[in-house]
């Protein structure tokens, strides 16, 4: 480039300015990070850009996508760290500076968000700066220049859509998913499954070339089976970049093109100027949000609403201290059975969870936990067996689900003490009510039982675990016990 600059000395100022513009345009067309820095001034004129090493990392991975070195890429980064600006807005515009014939389809959880991204892209393409740099490469077509879809005169197009929408047979060379589910949607099994099904069955089929076309997903983690978790079940297909706000261990990041290496110490904050210590501390107080959206770990080792360290045990020896656990009481104020039933026995349906709980004062002892695929008859038989083993049982709690009234009526006829539970506020509300009792050390599990570890995994990973049947049965019991003082329960021995 120095030789080229020296050769400009003999030309007129206007010719020199034109030549310099061409050199700069060529350099930026081959330097995505440099393009983002220049474009930022157009996109955010009132907000200075504070560049961070992970911006370079994201830019290199997206450059590898453009070079067809990577065709399936997932990037999980904290919110408000320029992920959409880099991947969804700048990347397609930068590609058009090189290959304006390329087509893009971008999707988000709502059409409003997708349209906003599309409008910003179009404004960048039509900006004086972009037209001055690459205006000779293409022009936007006047007959198809809408917010959600526009095309250039080289047949490249950019289409914006949303999860669940139809793409009307249109295809793209690069498909971009930016926040495909919202935080609320991710906690709904139905909404999350609908998003995953749409991505799997509709969106990915829109690639013009399934072998060479690229799919990019960029989001913060929200659930163990959010689109990231769903797609990562395909072993060996996806390149996965997970950048937590706070390093959970010493990290080494090797850049895919330049080979640059960045070392990050445990506890180091990604952007300390944006996330000072007091801000991080406030974020940590929202344990579930911090784990998923900021740490990209929707099932943290220490747990969400209930931490592993808050679990108490009976019947064994604490391996850390060598001290004996709590002794199981010889008698209880009452015993209850709580059931989370699926009423199906297919391998793909939810499990049936049956928890037997003994109550002594404010302490709750989980005496047994069953987790199986059971049909209605087998569920009834297992409830009978647990009643016989743990009698006397004063109440059998079962949620009155949409398909459950007939089954519950049958159980009421055949099993004494069956109580249909009409949940108020859903699973999350019940778990929020139960969590303080675990935090106070009021719940105890059998240290030596085979069911204990799966039980702990479900309650500590809620609501982000693949299965939550035992957690639901526990929280159902906790909610009922809070609302039903011991003196209101009359134990009537019944022999069947």
| Among the listed residues 430, 489, 465, the one whose alpha carbon sits nearest the alpha carbon of residue 225 | 465
Confidence of residue 58 (pLDDT cuts 50, 70, 90): very high
Q: What is the assigned CATH class of domain 308-488?
A: alpha beta
For the segment 337-349, the average pLDDT, to the nearest whole number, is: 69
Tens of pLDDT, residue by residue over 352-372, are 999 999 999 999 999 999 999
Answer yes or no: is pLDDT of 80 > 50.
Answer: yes
CA distance linking residue 253 with residue 259, whole number of Å: 9
Tens of pLDDT, residue by residue over 116-174, are 999 999 999 999 999 999 999 999 988 777 888 999 999 999 999 999 987 557 899 99
Q: What is the assigned CATH class of domain 31-294?
A: alpha beta
Per-domain residue ranges of the chain: 31-294, 308-488
Tens of pLDDT, residue by residue over 202-253, are 999 999 999 999 999 999 999 888 999 999 999 899 999 999 999 999 999 9
- Locate 221 and state its tokens: 């983690």
CA distance linking residue 230 with residue 212, whole number of Å: 22
The pLDDT value recorded for residue 167 is 59
Render 113-126 in DSSP notation, one character per residue: HHHHHHHHHHHHHT
Cα–Cα distance list, 364 to 38, 286, 326, 329, 474 (Å): 61, 27, 12, 11, 10
In 3-state terms, what secondary structure has residue 104? strand
Strands 312-314 and 443-446: parallel
The pLDDT value recorded for residue 3 is 56
Answer yes or no: is pLDDT of 490 > 50.
Answer: no
Q: Lowest mean pLDDT: which of 101-110, 381-390, 406-415, 438-447? A: 406-415
491 CA to centre of own chain: 45
Cα within 13 Å of Cα(308), Cβ side? 12
Say if residues 345 and 335 touch (Cβ distance below 8 Å).
no
pLDDT, mean over the chain: 89
For the segment 107-113, the average pLDDT, to the nearest whole number, is: 96
Torsion sign across C-alpha atoms 69, 74, 80, 81: negative
Confidence of residue 108 (pLDDT cuts 50, 70, 90): very high
pTM score of the predicted model: 0.68
């Amino acid at each position: 480039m120095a030789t080229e600059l020296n050769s400009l000395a003999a030309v007129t100022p206007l010719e020199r300015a034109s030549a310099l513009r061409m050199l700069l345009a060529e350099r930026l067309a081959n330097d995505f990070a440099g393009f983002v820095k220049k474009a930022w001034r157009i996109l955010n004129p009132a907000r200075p850009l504070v560049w961070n090493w992970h911006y370079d990392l994201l830019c290199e991975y997206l450059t590898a996508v453009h070079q067809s070195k990577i065709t399936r890429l997932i990037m999980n980064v904290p919110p408000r760290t320029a992920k959409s600006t880099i991947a969804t807005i700048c990347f397609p515009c930068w590609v058009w500076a090189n290959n304006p014939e390329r087509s893009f389809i971008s999707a988000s959880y709502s059409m409003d968000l997708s349209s906003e991204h599309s409008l910003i892209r179009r404004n960048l393409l039509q900006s004086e700066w972009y037209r001055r740099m690459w205006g000779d490469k293409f022009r936007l077509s006047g007959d198809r220049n809408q917010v959600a879809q526009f095309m250039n005169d080289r047949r490249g197009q950019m289409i914006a859509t949303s999860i669940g929408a139809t793409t009307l047979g249109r295809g793209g060379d690069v498909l971009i998913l930016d926040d495909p589910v919202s935080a609320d949607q991710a906690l709904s099994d139905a909404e999350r499954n609908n998003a995953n099904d749409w991505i799997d069955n509709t969106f990915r089929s829109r690639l013009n070339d399934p072998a060479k076309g690229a799919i990019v997903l960029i989001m913060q983690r929200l659930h163990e089976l959010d689109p990231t978790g769903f797609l990562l079940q395909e072993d060996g297909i996806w390149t996965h970049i997970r950048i937590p706000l706070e390093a959970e261990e010493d990290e080494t990041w090797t850049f895919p093109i330049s080979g640059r290496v960045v070392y990050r110490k445990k506890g180091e904050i990604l952007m300390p100027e944006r996330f000072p210590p007091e801000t991080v501390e406030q974020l940590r107080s929202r344990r579930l949000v911090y784990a998923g959206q900021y740490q990209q770990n929707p099932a943290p080792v220490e747990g969400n609403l209930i931490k592993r360290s808050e679990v108490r045990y009976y019947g064994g020896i604490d391996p850390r201290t060598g001290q004996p656990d709590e002794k199981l009481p010889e008698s209880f104020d009452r015993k209850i059975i709580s059931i989370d039933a699926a009423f199906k026995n297919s391998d793909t349906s939810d499990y049936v969870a049956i928890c037997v709980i003994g109550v002594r004062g404010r302490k709750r002892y989980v005496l047994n936990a069953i987790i199986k695929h059971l049909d209605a008859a087998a569920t009834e038989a297992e409830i009978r067996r647990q009643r016989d083993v743990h009698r006397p049982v004063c109440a059998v709690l079962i949620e009155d689900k949409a398909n459950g009234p007939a089954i519950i009526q049958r159980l009421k006829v055949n099993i004494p003490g069956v109580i249909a539970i009409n949940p108020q506020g859903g699973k999350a509300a019940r778990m929020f009510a139960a969590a303080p009792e675990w935090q106070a050390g009021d719940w105890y599990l059998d240290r030596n039982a085979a069911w204990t570890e799966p039980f702990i995994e479900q309650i500590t990973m809620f609501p982000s675990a693949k299965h939550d049947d035992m957690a639901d049965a526990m929280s159902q019991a906790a909610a009922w016990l809070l609302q039903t003082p011991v003196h209101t329960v009359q134990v009537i021995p019944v022999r069947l």
